Structure 1
Amino acid sequence: MTQRKRQKNAVRRGLIALWLLAGSASALAQGPDAQIYDMPVQGLGAALGEIGTRSGTEIIAPAALVEGLAAPALRGAYAPDAAVRALLAGTGLVAERANGALVVRRVEAAGGSDKEPIVVTGTRIRGAPIASPVIAVSADRMRAAGQAGLADAMRALPQNFGGGQNPGIGNNVPEASGVDIGGGASLNLRGLGSDATLTLLNGHRLSYSSALQSVDISAIPFDAVDRIEIVADGASALYGSDAVAGVANIILRSDFDGLRTRARWGASTDGGNGQQQYGLLAGRTWDSGGLMGAYEFSRISPIVARQRSYAAGVTPGVTLFPFLKHHNGLVSGYQAIGDKVTLAFDALYNKRWKASIFPLNTAGDLDVSRAENRTRSTSFAIAPALKVDLGSWRAGLSTMYGEDRVHFTIANILGDSVLLNGPNCYCNSATSIELAADGPLFSLPGGSARLAVGGGYRQNAFELRRALAPQLDIDETRDSNFAYAELNLPFVAPAMAIPGVHRLNLSGALRYEHYPDIDTVVTPKLGLIYAPLAGVTLKGSWGRSFRAPTFLQLYQSPSATLVPATRLGGTATSGATALLLIGGNTALAPERARTWSASVVLEPAIAGARLEFGWFETRYRNRIVTPIVTTAQALSDPAYADLVSRDPDAGAVNAAIDSVDSFFNSTGGDFDPASVTAIVNNRYVNAGHQTIRGLDALASYETAIAGGTLSLSLNATWLESTQRRTALQPEVALAGRLFNPPHWRARAGAIWSKGPLGLNAHLNYTGGVTDMRQMPADDVEGMTTLDLALRFETPRGGGLLGGLEFVLAAENVLNARPDPIRTTLYYDTPYDSTNYSAVGRFISLGVSKTW
């Protein structure tokens, strides 16, 4: 079935130094905006009123929200925002600035009016607490740090790995670790793969991009984004396939009223990477709804090896980071119809170009011979939704249709001769429809037990079109039907004032998903939140997750190649050959995983401080792998014995050839079945086991200082991961090895703001890895980089000079460089491009105006 028919049918030290430096500064002064509080435990409404009176801040807190809630004791110096945040901690309420006032809302309604579509991450129940750790990054913080978009911000996130589908992945990176086909950017939590992190937009799925079943986050206009929320814990019980490593929800602005234009320019001081970015954001809100539209243009010039000292003498003609250009557009809106019904929609469009070049000669001379890789990508999605209030319950119907097409051409050029391979296409589409409802069931001492239920249908389609080998094209669809339920049980609430049990909450979820012709999967998840006292919260979760095979893993054209047996490690017997089988496998089953997480959240008496420490573990089985790591050892390594059929008869040889789509003879002689001494099967199989475990540490502290506000943050992660490809193969380390995540990553920040002025400093640490490709092994040093940014705003009004914001940023101020690695081929990238960047020092200036 064609795509058109388907449419119709449907460092560590540096981190400590930065932390201590900023902490010492905070101890030097308390600004005039801070007030000294010594407030006892009391009702939340009364406590908020006292803060409003003493600070002169208007605080709007509906009585229905704060009635019956107790506020903890508050002692110390607090700015108004920090004081209110301290009182609201653990209540399910948040406060946001609106027209100068602090407005208290429920968590699920934060970010807009209470009539807007509600988006939550990590739970299907509105307002329910989440037992898994959640990392939230606001777009305002990203912009203030000088980051150009979601892709830049996620590359700096310690829990994310730079491999998978991302621009700048080198030619020497194994496909299992990363690949860049269309220039799109994706999330890859814990290094489990871009296809194991589910990425949502306003709570709904998008079409896959390219070949790896990832979602392109660079297709979303940055100005339209409010924040991204990440649950780095298995979430298949809530969201289905792909959420093994976790789920990321990109939440759009819904309350923007006005017009804003933006421009940003920048370049690397070592050359290349010249960036231009222009954006437009327009929005209008009214009593019953809102509409927002955004457009973004971006152009990035390439970085080539001759511009970098550590690469110029090794692979001078190789493109280290590709040329990229894109147009992004997005429209989002909602409209209440009466008091009960709300219509909403999100629509997205992206068009992108990418180009990269590498030489085809050892001298690296592009004029002699070269390969030019060019892609042109288009994607769109539209997601309408209907929500109906049914008293205390809410029901919703949501749908989505999207496409993502990556057209790619490879031109091999030798002098005046051109061999063109293309245009080819990785063409994806997705359709989904879901009906859901949530609301209270019965009363418990700590509040109402709440239930969410839902079900629906989803279809993904994939086409691989090959210009030179149309007989190997792929044109397949995958349907799935699903149903889920989630229950939240609040047994003890803070207002009950029970000694030793400040809060106790249990949650559970169960999801059924049926894939015809693949499998039926049932995934549970359990969660516990226990707070023995105010300021100390213990969380734990256990669950099962799964990932359906990718289309390429299932349907990539299988082939058999006849090679001399010595090429696969066989003995040097005259005329001996071997048959190597590779390609897809339609018998693959879903990958399955068990996930655990445990965390402790501390909100001590120190004003504005918060600490969170978490443990996570994922045990992956049925991992889809090509089982032979080194084909040159296939016949000599006993670990591959179960993948080798030795001394096959002619019938077995012919049967193996008949089972594949293509046969190639690479021996230089005639094919003789009698000369085949072994059949080696390196097609995709469900054989791998992985264990991933580690620790996360997140800390934040906010205080008034020098008339402004100082915010400190730390996000650090330690990761250990191992893999066993088959039962006979040994377990090997992944984390800390070349082209895999390092053991340690961290990012620490200090942000000071006062009115129109803001100063940002961030220190990033990426640990080293070990290159085990040759013996003796090489230690590859990590990187520590320092980012600085200065923000200044002019008052609104006042004509052309009013409402301006300037952000001057310098990333990698000290121009740290990646440690070189060994290369084998003249087009290899001479550093680990999954972990370290060739950008170097990058200076940018951003200017925006709110009209």
Structure 2
Amino acid sequence: MKKTGYGITLWLATTSLTGVLIGPTVAHAQQTARLSIDLPEQRLADSLRALALLSGRTVLADDGSVAARRAPALRGQYTLEEALRLLLAGSGLEAVRSHDGFAVRYIAAHVLPAGPEALETADAGPAITVTGSRIRGAPVTSPVIAVDADQMQEQGKTELADVVRSIPQSFGGGQNPGLGSNVPTASGVDVGGASTVNLRGLGSDATLTLINGHRLAYNGSRQGVDISALPFAMVERVEIVADGASALYGSDAVAGVANVILRRDYDGILTSANLGTSTGGGDFRQQYGLTAGKRWRSGGFVGSYEFARNSQILTGDRRFSASRPGNTLIPPMKRNAFAGAAHQDLTDTLTIEVDGLFNNRDSVLVQPNNTAGNLAVSRTEKVSQSKSFSIAPSLKLNLQGGWRLALSGVYGTEDVHLASNSYVGNTQTGTIPLCYCNKGSSAELAADGPLFALPGGPAKIAMGLGYRYNQLFIDRGAGNYLTGHHSQDSYYAYGELSLPVVSPGQKISWINRLSFSGALRFEHYPGIDDVLTPKLGMIFAPVPDLALKANWGKSFRAPTLYQQHLAQSVLYYNASSLGGTSGTAMLLTGGNPDLKPEKATSWTTTLEYKPHQVPGLGLQVGYFSTRYTDRIVTPITYASQALSNGLYVPYVERSPSLAAIDALVANSATFYNATGAPFDASQVVAIANNTSVNAGNQRIHGVDILADYTQDLGEGAGSLALSLNASYLRSTQTLIAGAATTQLAGTLFNPPHWRGRGSATWSFDGFSLNTTVSRIGGVDDERAVTPVDISGQTTVDLTVRYAFQQPHGPLRGLVLTLTAQNLFNDTPQTIATTSIYDTAFDTTNYSGIGRYIGFGITKAW
């Protein structure tokens, strides 16, 4: 053995087990004490050694496991355990408690690696992805919400879509399964059973969803990304930046960014099975998975396959929706999904990575075609099959001076084939086919590294340029006017700068930490527009326990191909039908190729408090505000007032010329005559344009409150983890200039003002007990003259898990889970309906499943 100059033992045993640094045994208070850490990016062994010195604790690591690895920069106030988690995140290693410290080891085959909740870390290796900054080692100034695989499993979740919908900042509208036909199209639609992320209720197309930091092909017609296409066992964590981020990521990142981080490798074989059902009937779920991988010194791979299916729930199966029987409440689905990832060091400085996925899902929606809701008499079955594929390779080259060069690409397809089949009895009387077939591809060259030294650390920059291509093929059959191919190119360049002015190591009174960041992105959309989006950020910590984060930036959303190119139709009416007097009038509907990007200005302020007097406690309160302009809308809300309401004057052409009328008829895909008389151009007194236009404005603001607390309860008592996430939202909309401002948040089919979720987990010796309480606030139904208060929904979930601790034998790696979701069976309130196709509750906010009991088993081999 060898003694260091610090009087601490450094082991160099022939077994190659190295005690990186050995310190004295300490009490629990010292174990949870927060340390002022200021570590540069360096070899992992050096960072572990520095942590051991700083904490006076034992940190043991095998030479072979740490020799070839580097650690990210780490600055801030952390406990030793938190610091180790951040340094080891994504490395395939974990730190486990020993009697006098921690031992670093490869992650056991039955353990799902958990990502860090604090994201001020760097991409030090092939596996670490950080959302909110392009710069390795830069602190993230935007508020970040993270949920890792351990938390998902502790709460009894088995599907990523359920995890995302449970986050208070996420809204169940947009493009999601189970949405009723009475949900306005602006609030949501069910296309092929896809699940998308919809932050703040701004829309699935205004929330950018990434997989491992890269885009996928869009789903359906709304530019959402289907997160349900992933095997659940492949998900390592989900990170949500609830702030505008177009300066970093480009179009769609208006409400924020949701980044799904996948496993990068695995060592062993993991099998899983989950079964469950609703106690009210229906929604019997089966899910079977197989995950396998191998890890070696210079790389690794993992592949995961999942088969899942569930049975349907009809509206007549639930008392609160039985007033409109026969409609699908929860669609039956069957899914086969595969995802894989691999990384390999080609040289000491060059690494290749790749991830890919394939998904095949079948789903059916049914609707009655009779007032009794009797499906045996007549019905429509909307059958869908969704197929998606994606592959994303990349090369990363580490250069001298801490610089890194990365070349990456993505290619993906997402085809949703739909068939609307009509039946009388068992006889099919008609079918309407449709395919939303999307393709997406991109290529990017990026670089990042240090520029120069500042008192608080090195100034760093990230920059890149790239190309992106999207294609939408709408297929309604040969010769159909809606059938057509449409595509869009875009070119972009970006830069991001991080300036750490003051760090804790400088020991400046009342300025523990001060850093600034800035980003700028330029995008060129041929035929649409050029867009420049900036972002500025700041972190100021007067003392180690308290930090203030502030952000300001601009974001945008490019018009969808569907909004631009949906075939235009002309409806020919008597002028009196549109609010006129004599003569006839024409109403134009459909897409608009002249649309421009929607634009938004956002700012956030976040206060973070981690008192050293209460180790393990973290509090975060943030205010957010977004002004969203040039929203794409159809301006004429009431066609019957098109010629009489002064608000619609900008969209009405009076006394049009014969040339204008002839051009409109010639260029439209369809012409519908509702006058009962032959078309006569000389009688046309007006043309009302109700195609999509950039006219809407929205204002969104509110408060997010997050808290977490972890406590080791002492020898033989386990540990306790508490968490809270609550969000208050206000949002308004002005459809067109001069129109009244209407409330969005707190009204039917829009997010409620309040939403929250609290969780408590007690863990001991392989056993965990989790209780989670979720509250979705009430909304106002303002469709009638007298508004109706719709009560909210409160659910209580209880999950028990046990991981057998045997190191050998048939029970090794076995984990059993029993969960009760919505234990007390809280149900949504019934709302008024006007059509046989309506669902009699707010399906965008509240679940109609009821109490759900599930059992799961996983086994590592």
Cα RMSD of the aligned pairs, angstroms, is 3.0
Structure 2 length as normaliser, TM-score? Answer: 0.89
Displacement of 1:804: 1.1
| C-alpha displacement of 1:43 | 7.7
**Corresponding residue number in structure 2 for 1:685:** 693
1:780 offset after TM fit, Å?
1.1
Going from structure 1 to structure 2, the CA distance change for 1:275 and 1:93 (only over 3 Å counts) comes to closer
Match of 2:385 among 376, 383, 395: 376
| TM-score, normalisation: structure 1 | 0.90
Partner of 2:140: 130
Residue in structure 2 matching 1:491, options 501, 513, 518: 501
Pairing partner for 2:353 from 344, 347, 350: 344
Q: Say whether residues 1:335 and 2:344 are aligned partners.
A: yes
- 1:307 is matched with 317
Give the Å deviation of 1:419.
Answer: 3.6
Question: In the TM superposition, what whole-angstrom CA distance separates every residue of 1:745-796 from its partner, at most 9, and x where no partner exists?
Answer: 1000101111210001111111111111121111111111111100011124
Deviation of 1:636 after TM superposition, in Å, equals: 4.1
Partners of 1:218 and 1:532 in 2: how far apart?
A: 43
8 A contact 2:32–2:615 mirrored in 1: no
Structure 1: distance between partners of 2:847 and 2:409: 39
Q: 1:149 aligns with which of 148, 152, 159?
A: 159
Instruction: Tell me what 1:726 maps to.
Output: 736
Alignment match of 1:666 (pick from 670, 674, 686): 674
For 1:378 and 1:170, the matched residues in 2 are separated by: 23
Alignment of 1:66-81 (within 5 A): none
User: Do the aligned partners of 2:265 and 2:342 also contact (CA within 8 Å) in 1?
Assistant: no
Counterpart residue number, 1:815: 825
**1:244 matched to which residue of 2?**
254
> What pairs up with 1:262-341 in 2 under 5 angstroms?
262-312=272-322, 314-341=323-350
Which whole-Å CA distance do the structure 1 matches of 2:178 and 2:552 have between them? 36
Q: Which has the higher contact order (CA 8 A, sep 6+)?
A: 1
Give how far 1:657 is off: 2.5
Aligned to 2:15: none
Distance of aligned partners of 1:50 and 1:847 in 2 relative to their CA distance in 1, 3 Å threshold? same
Return the letter of the residue paired with 1:595: S
Residue 173 (1) aligns with residue 200 (2): no
Q: Partner residue of 1:446?
A: 456
Structure 2 equivalent of residue 221 of structure 1: 231
Shift of 1:561: 1.0
Which of 186, 192, 200 is 1:182 aligned to?
192
- Cα distance in 2 for partners of 1:232, 1:109 equals 14
Preserved CA contact (<8 Å) 1:422 1:468: no
- The corresponding residue for 1:769 is 779
- Contact residue 251 and residue 555 of structure 2 kept, 8 A: yes
How far is the alpha carbon of 1:120 from its aligned partner?
1.8
**Post-superposition offset of 1:724:** 0.9
Inter-partner Cα distance in structure 2 for 1:465 and 1:296 = 30
Give the superposition deviation at 1:456: 1.0
Instruction: State whether residues 828 and 848 of structure 2, in contact with CA within 8 Å, keep that contact through their aligned partners in structure 1.
Output: yes
- The range that moved more, 663-672 or 331-340, is 663-672
Match of 1:657 among 652, 665, 668: 665
Partner SS, residue 320 of structure 2: helix
Q: Aligned pair in 2 of structure 1 residues 40, 707: CA closer, same or farther (>3 Å)?
A: closer
Kept in 2, the 8 Å contact 1:380–1:404? The answer is yes
SS in 2 for 1:800: coil
Checking the alignment, whether the CA contact within 8 Å between 2:308 and 2:336 is kept in structure 1 is yes
Match of residue 620, structure 1, among 620, 625, 628: 628
Tell me the alpha carbon deviations over residues 387-408 of structure 1, each in whole angstroms, 9 at most, x when there is no partner: 0010110001001110000000
How far apart, in 1, do the equivalents of 2:760 and 2:547 lie?
26
Which segments of 5 or more consecutive residues in structure 1 lack a partner in the other structure? 1-31, 73-81
* TM-aligned CA deviation for residue 35 of structure 1: 4.7
Q: Distance in 2 between matches of 1:285 and 1:127?
A: 26
Contact 1:450 1:489 in 2 (8 A): yes
- 2: distance between equivalents of 1:296 and 1:180? 23
Structure 1: distance between partners of 2:621 and 2:120? 25
Q: CA deviation at 1:139?
A: 1.5
AA paired with 1:626? T
1:79 counterpart residue number:
none
Once the two structures are TM-superposed, the CA of residue 38 in structure 1 deviates from its matched residue by 9.8
Q: Secondary structure at the match of 2:527?
A: coil
Q: 1:473: Cα distance to partner?
A: 1.2
Partner of 1:360: 369
Q: How many residues align?
A: 806
Q: Between the two proteins, what is the percent identity of the paired residues?
A: 47
Q: CA deviation at 1:367?
A: 1.6
CA distance 1:564–1:92, shift in 2 (3 Å): farther
What is the Cα deviation at residue 115 of structure 1?
A: 3.8
Alignment deviations for residues 572-604 of structure 1 (CA, whole Å, 9 cap, x no partner): x6xx54322110000001111111011010001
Instruction: Determine whether 1:745 maps to 2:755.
Output: yes
> Tell me, what secondary structure is at the counterpart of 1:554?
helix
Tell me what 1:586 maps to.
Answer: 593
* TM superposition shift of 1:682: 1.1
Deviations 1:131-164 (A, max 9, x none): 1001110012112211122100011000001011
Residue identity matched to 2:334: K
Say yes or no: does 1:513 pair with 2:509.
no
Paired residue type of 1:239: Y
1:40, distance to aligned residue in structure 2 (A) = 9.7
Residue 629 of structure 1 corresponds to 637
SS of 2:449's equivalent in the other structure is strand
CA shift digits 1:559-579 (9 cap, x unpaired): 0112344544456x6xx5432
* Secondary structure class of the residue paired with 1:310: coil
1:523 aligns with 2:533: yes
Contact in 1 for aligned 2:272/2:857 (Cα 8 Å): yes
Partner of 2:794 in structure 1?
784
Q: 8 Å contact 2:34–2:79 — kept in the other structure?
A: no
Query: Secondary structure at the residue paired with 2:846?
Result: coil
Distance 1:662 1:237, change over 3 A: same
Paired position in structure 2 for 1:806: 816
> What is the DSSP-based 3-state SS (H/G/I as helix, E as strand, rest coil) of the residue aligned with 2:810?
helix
The equivalent position to 1:698 in structure 2, one of 700, 706, 711, is 706
AA in 2 matched with 1:471: Y
Deviations 1:278-334 (A, max 9, x none): 11111111000010000011101111011100111x111011111111100011000
In the alignment, structure 1 residue 84 sits paired with structure 2 residue 80: yes
- Which one of the candidate residues 549, 553, 563 is aligned to 1:553? 563
Distance (Å, rounded) in 2 between the aligned partners of 1:67 and 1:466? 52
Measured in 2, the distance between the counterparts of 1:229 and 1:87 equals: 19
User: In structure 2, what is the equivalent of residue 385 of structure 1?
Assistant: 394
Q: How has the CA–CA distance of structure 1 residues 470 and 306 changed in structure 2, closer, same or farther, with 3 Å as cutoff?
A: same
SS of the equivalent of 1:470 reads coil
Output the amino acid matched with 2:333.
L
> Unmatched 5+ residue regions in structure 2?
1-25, 39-47, 106-114
1:527 CA drift (Å): 0.6
Which of these residues, 594, 605, 615, is aligned with residue 598 of structure 1? Answer: 605
Give the SS at the match of 2:826: coil
Q: What is the rounded CA distance, in whole Å, between the counterparts of 1:40 and 1:647 in structure 2?
A: 76
Partners of 2:330 and 2:681 lie apart in 1 by 46
Structure 1 CA distance for aligned equivalents of residues 308 and 519 of structure 2 = 42
- Quote the offset at 1:646 in angstroms: 4.2
Structure-2 separation of matches of 1:839 and 1:506:
47
- Between the aligned partners of 2:168 and 2:418, the Cα distance in structure 1 is 32
Instruction: Look up the SS of the partner of 1:309 in the other structure.
Output: coil
Give, in whole Å, the separation in 2 of the partners of 1:130 and 1:40: 20
User: How far apart, CA to CA, are the structure 2 residues paired with 1:93 and 1:465?
Assistant: 45
How far apart are the structure 2 equivalents of 1:475 and 1:808? 48
Alpha-carbon spacing, 1:390–1:307, altered in 2? closer, same or farther (3 Å): same
1:708 and 2:718 equivalent?
Answer: yes
Amino acid at match of 2:692: Y
Contact 2:608 2:620 in 1 (8 A): yes
Equivalent residue of 2:494, what SS?
Answer: strand
Write the distance in 2 (CA, Å) between the matches of 1:769 and 1:850: 46
